[in-house]
Chains A and B, each alone.
Chain A
Amino acid sequence: MKKIDDILTQLQQQPDVSHPDELTDRIIDSLPDMDAQPANDEPGRRPARRARLYIASAIAVAASVLLFLMLNINQDMKEEKRTAQNEIVHTARKPTPNPAETNSTPNGNSPKTDTISNRVLTGKTMASQARQTERNIVVKHKASHLQSFKHERVSSTADSLDYYIAKIERELTQVDESLYIERMQKLIHADERLQRIVNNYLLHQLDKDGRPMEAINTNNVNTTENEE
């Protein structure tokens, strides 16, 4: 019986190739063109695994870009909604009564002082109301903007008019006394024009409905023509 070292020494011999000439012929016959590159180094042919990896990474990049964009859009919408909600909550709270407003008419003042102080107080009240109205309109705008994309940023004429009236009221509280009367006259003139528009609209509606013209007289709005 051989010992371990003998076995290992015997393993150092080279095995014989069975039919070596056949193997040689097989090799020589299968030799490709010398200029042909080894399969792994072929630049034109991309291994399927690499192509799959490339496609997978491209899809992953596109998906992450889309996700990022979606998140940004959602974030913007949430912020807008939150701002609108905050404003709604803010306006829903009743304004704390102004001490100056509650004790608005101190007794014992001269009529002139009373008139001026009354005007100042009325002006302040008007200003606070105007601010509130304006805020309500803004909130209305934002809420409608979030509810429907179709109607966003489109405010009705009435809303615009409310907005401008609130603005005028606020401005009137800040003008000097000398300008106050002049502004008021302008406003009265504008108001007449507005009433004319309203009257025309009512007339048009009455004509359309076929109602008697006497119905106009039920309207307590005086037109310029009537005045004349």
Chain B
Amino acid sequence: MTQTDSEIITRCQRGDKAAFCEVVKNYQRMVFSLSLKMLADEEEAKDVVQDTFIRVWQSIRSYDPQKPFRTWLYTIATRLCLDRLKREKPLIPLPDDERTLHRIASDDSQRQLENAEWAAIVRLLAEGLSEKQRIAFTLCQLEGLSLQEAEEITDMDVRQLKSNLYVARQTIRKRLKDLGYEED
């Protein structure tokens, strides 16, 4: 967290909504990314973003500035995503999802994916993964967090995270292989 971030959060703790607006602008994409990759639904992901920042606003006085703000935000967002996952039906790939993945894989450019494409890929690849495997894969593989950060965010220790991440990677690789994609 930069010095500026620290100042903004101190202002938020005093109840400054304008400062909090800055926080939302800075971090909403990060929270949205996590939510979309977990829930595979754009509108639900937006709802989670909204709920997360409401929680942050309500609890920001108890936030310890010595700890990384990003990790704290991820922790709240991950728990809200898990709550929704428990309530919702399990993800089932749609017939068009394979075609969407094929279109992306056929395009050699690293273009920015659309949100509908993201949802299709998550539905296709996340099928058959357990909750813990999904969390480990999303945080460490897709969001690029370190194992230590993921340990703070989730209830799992590093060993559990490693094993869940390994299983998730193997499952997804096998799935892609079955769909006809080649390994290096």
- Name A residues whose Cβ lies closer than 8 Å to a Cβ of B: 1-18, 20, 23-24, 26-28, 30-32, 34, 36-38
CB within 8 A of A17: which of B15, B28, B55, B60? B28
A10-B46 CB under 8 A given contacts A5-B184, A16-B29, A38-B55: no
- Chain B residues, CB < 8 A from A20: 25, 28-29
Contact between B17 and A28 (Cβ–Cβ < 8 Å)? Answer: yes
Q: How near does chain B come to A26, taking the closest CB pair, in angstroms?
A: 6
CA–CA, A219 to B36, complex, Å?
115
Q: A23-B46, A28-B24 are in contact. List 7 more A-B contacts (CB 8 A).
A: A1-B106, A2-B105, A4-B173, A8-B172, A11-B142, A12-B143, A17-B29
Contact between A38 and B142 (Cβ–Cβ < 8 Å)? Answer: no
- Chain B residues, CB < 8 A from A37: 58
CA–CA, A34 to B46, complex, Å?
22
Residue B163 CB within 8 A of the other chain: no
CB within 8 A of A3: which of B46, B110, B118, B182? B182
Contact between B50 and A26 (Cβ–Cβ < 8 Å)? Answer: yes
- Chain A residues, CB < 8 A from B24: 24, 27-28
Q: Could you say which interface size class chain B belongs to?
A: 35 or more
In the assembled complex, 28 residue pairs joining A and B whose CB atoms fall closer than 8 Å, in A order, are A1-B181, A2-B181, A4-B173, A4-B176, A4-B183, A6-B105, A7-B105, A8-B141, A9-B110, A11-B142, A13-B110, A14-B30, A14-B33, A15-B36, A15-B118, A16-B29, A16-B112, A17-B49, A20-B29, A24-B24, A26-B50, A27-B28, A27-B53, A28-B24, A31-B20, A31-B57, A32-B57, A32-B58
Nearest-neighbor residue (CB-CB) of B111 within chain A: A10
CA–CA, A37 to B42, complex, Å?
28
Q: How near does chain B come to A41, taking the closest CB pair, in angstroms?
A: 9
Contact between A12 and B53 (Cβ–Cβ < 8 Å)? Answer: no
Q: How near does chain A come to B152, taking the closest CB pair, in angstroms?
A: 20
Contact between A7 and B55 (Cβ–Cβ < 8 Å)? Answer: no
CA–CA, A17 to B48, complex, Å?
13
Contact between B181 and A3 (Cβ–Cβ < 8 Å)? Answer: yes
Interface core residue of B32, B173, B177 (most chain A CB under 10 Å): B32
Contact between B29 and A10 (Cβ–Cβ < 8 Å)? Answer: no
Binary contact track B9-28/A, C-beta < 8 Å → 1, others 0: 00000010100110011001
Q: How near does chain B come to A47, taking the closest CB pair, in angstroms?
A: 14
Contact between B28 and A23 (Cβ–Cβ < 8 Å)? Answer: yes
